[in-house]
Structure 1
Amino acid sequence: MSGIKLLATGSALPQHMITNHDLEQIMDTSDEWITSRTGIGARHHCQGEECHTSLCLEAAKKALERSGVKPEEVGVCLVATLTPDHLTPATACVLQKELGFQEDAICFDLNAACSGFVYALHTAECLLAASQRKYGLVLGAEVLSRVIDINDRSTYVLFGDGAGAAVVEWREEFPSIHAVLGCRGNDQVLTIPGVNKGVPAVVHMDGQDVFRFAVEALPRCAREVAQKAGITLEEVDRFVLHQANQRIINFAVKKLGVDPAKCTGNIAHTANTSAASVPILLDELVQKGEIQPGNKVLCVGFGGGLTWAGALLEVAQGREGDTK
């Protein structure tokens, strides 16, 4: 058996917050309409010099500092995103330079939309197994304010910007994260046109179809991860679920039959941050002391693709090995 454990986390949100009451002043909506349908009360949007890269750097530096892992010990750096500052170079390559990772560290971005961070965790687990350096930096980051249309209230109210980071350690004796990944190819339900489509690159979403997909995929994925790990859902200490919509989460938690207190989120003040959603929430819970060393944390993402991904992430007691 071999796998990764979580050493430390970090996150970053833009300073500028837009509340539902702010949106009431610029579009035909209301705080009641938004909160009753989504659970969202506010979202953060980048302004001025804030950007995707700056959010990633802030979150990464926090996670690395808290972990005690030095830049030269990092073997893998992955960034899950669909809204990077550049099509190329990859954000992970920029981080390699800015954070001082070795030139043979594996650095790249990946796009699995809202499932991206969990996809990246499993990818890091596999890559670290073959790396001489057994520490990895995994991020989920988005600047979704770039790809939402202020004239479409059904999507504009939903999305925010942010970044979350995790430092993980791979060991032969660590348990696998028992990742479950999946895709049901669909370019109609949730899509952002590419640069060659000749139309604005903004989010297009069929909310009802997304809801139906999510409330089926989320609980099914969580059960499959637990089954793969050989545990019951009751043995999970904390669920970290993609913060897409509070109605989706409530419905899925009810279907799972688990304690809702283990599934609380942060959508009220972050909104949907796609690939950044799971790691931002993970960091908030760690910093609050609601996730402790030794805890088993079941993370589930779901979204565009359509994709889903789940993993059982155990929190390490601290650095457990030497990477020389």
Structure 2
Amino acid sequence: MDLNVIEEPKVRPVRRKRLAKGARFIGVGSVAPTTTLSNDDLSAFVDTNDEWIATRTGIRARKVLQKDESLTAIAAEAGKRALEMAGVAAEDVDLVLLCTSSPDDLFGSATQIQSAIGAKGAAFDLTAACSGFVIGLINARQWVTDGKYHNVLVIGADALSRYVDWTDRGTCILFGDGAGAVLVQATAGDDDRLLGYDIRSDGGGYKSLKAPLQCTAAENAGAPPRGSFQPILMNGREVFKFAVKAVPQTVSASLEEAGLLTDDIDWLVLHQANQRILDAVAERFHIPHEKVISNLANYGNTSAASIPLALDEAVRGGKIKPGDVIASAGFGAGLTWASAIFTWG
């Protein structure tokens, strides 16, 4: 897979199987922790400062969970807010899909969220790091278009502050916590609002961004070793190079499937990882700054939560309106990357 080759999207006949149902995206909600950790706060315990961080990342502050708070709680509240906007009762949700790399329980948190919001259908976790929410939306659309489910609640939530080495300024400055959710609902088959999508991965890039398992000797002699995860390890230079090549490539592929050009994009809503990446992708597609949704300065990189957090603010703030065409892409550990072109509402 050659990430150096990025072709301009071109209109072509879209050869898509006629679906029994279509999908629409009708409710969004988000929640961030109340505790703010600013760049100045970080400078008290790691060798950095506000200017150094903001210049390199665009981040000014991030929200972090405290010891007595849970990812499950904020994810459930984000889901409730999305259902309220959509006008859908929790008991009518057929599937809760939690996209996260940092659940409160090793076995996943989706079922706890399902119980907390009062849903009666199925629930499971999906792990694809910062690409998780986009991949979750695509999966949800597959579930509703075959007629099996009518309402799928997709939640992106992460608390990577719990897995950061707070002495490593290369990573600790980046990550914050949060949750966001979107309701995906079945429509008539000729009204499918997911216009195009693309999912890719390259395990050869795993070493550039990871939080690997480590085993330590058990306290009892002869017992198997105990497992835990190392803090996040990242080669920032390599991840940046990967992102500025991979994101335009995957967005181009989705545009081509949709039969659209970049001029048709109303809003670019990318994973909020680094402002320089957002700017580079927008420049690559000649998308003006005012069409790029960015809230990175206030939240940092919230992994799978970043896109629905940004989407929620833009919808509730009146920027994104029903019928607008959104180009979205996630990218990160795995390495994974994915994009989707969809209309809102």
Larger CA deviation: 43-52 vs 129-138: 129-138
- CA drift at 1:79: 0.7
Instruction: State the alpha-carbon separation in 1 of the partners of residues 34 and 214 from structure 2.
Output: 29
| 1:71/1:301 CA distance change after superposition, 3 Å | same
TM-score between both structures, scaled by the size of structure 1: 0.93
Which runs of no fewer than 5 residues in structure 1 stay unpaired? 317-324
The aligned counterpart of 1:182 is 200
C-alpha distance after superposition, 1:9-33 (max 9, x if no partner)? 0000000001111112222111000
Instruction: State the alpha-carbon separation in 2 of the partners of residues 298 and 252 from structure 1.
Output: 11
Instruction: State the alpha-carbon separation in 2 of the partners of residues 310 and 267 from structure 1.
Output: 19
The aligned counterpart of 1:136 is 152
1:9–1:167: 8 Å Cα contact kept in structure 2? yes
Larger CA deviation: 174-183 vs 204-213: 174-183
C-alpha distance after superposition, 1:243-290 (max 9, x if no partner)? 101111111211122222111300000000111111111111011011
Instruction: State the alpha-carbon separation in 2 of the partners of residues 276 and 300 from structure 1.
Output: 13
The aligned counterpart of 2:258 is 229
| 1:276/1:111 CA distance change after superposition, 3 Å | same
Q: 1:287 aligns with which of 294, 312, 316?
A: 316
Letter in 2 for 1:126: Q
Letter in 2 for 1:40: I
1:11–1:280: 8 Å Cα contact kept in structure 2? yes
* Mapping for residues 98-109 of structure 1, pairs under 5 Å: 98-102=116-120, 105-109=121-125
1:73–1:133: 8 Å Cα contact kept in structure 2? no
* Mapping for residues 168-317 of structure 1, pairs under 5 Å: 168-171=184-187, 172-175=189-192, 177=194, 178-185=196-203, 186-194=205-213, 196=215, 200-316=229-345
* Mapping for residues 2-13 of structure 1, pairs under 5 Å: 2=19, 3-13=22-32
TM-score between both structures, scaled by the size of structure 2: 0.87
* Mapping for residues 6-45 of structure 1, pairs under 5 Å: 6-45=25-64
Instruction: State the alpha-carbon separation in 1 of the partners of residues 92 and 228 from structure 2.
Output: 44
1:76–1:128: 8 Å Cα contact kept in structure 2? no
The answer as to 2:73 corresponding to 1:54 is yes
Letter in 2 for 1:15: T
Say how many residue pairs are matched.
313
Letter in 2 for 1:284: E
Q: 1:77 aligns with which of 67, 77, 96?
A: 96
Letter in 1 for 2:176: G
The aligned counterpart of 1:127 is 143
Segments of 4+ moved more than 6 angstroms: none
- CA drift at 1:176: 5.2
Aligned to 2:179, the other structure's residue is in SS state strand
Q: CA RMSD in A?
A: 1.5
Structure of larger gyration radius = 2
The answer as to 2:85 corresponding to 1:66 is yes
Query: Kindly, what percent of the aligned residue pairs are identical?
Result: 40
Letter in 2 for 1:91: S
Which runs of no fewer than 5 residues in structure 2 stay unpaired? 1-17, 217-226
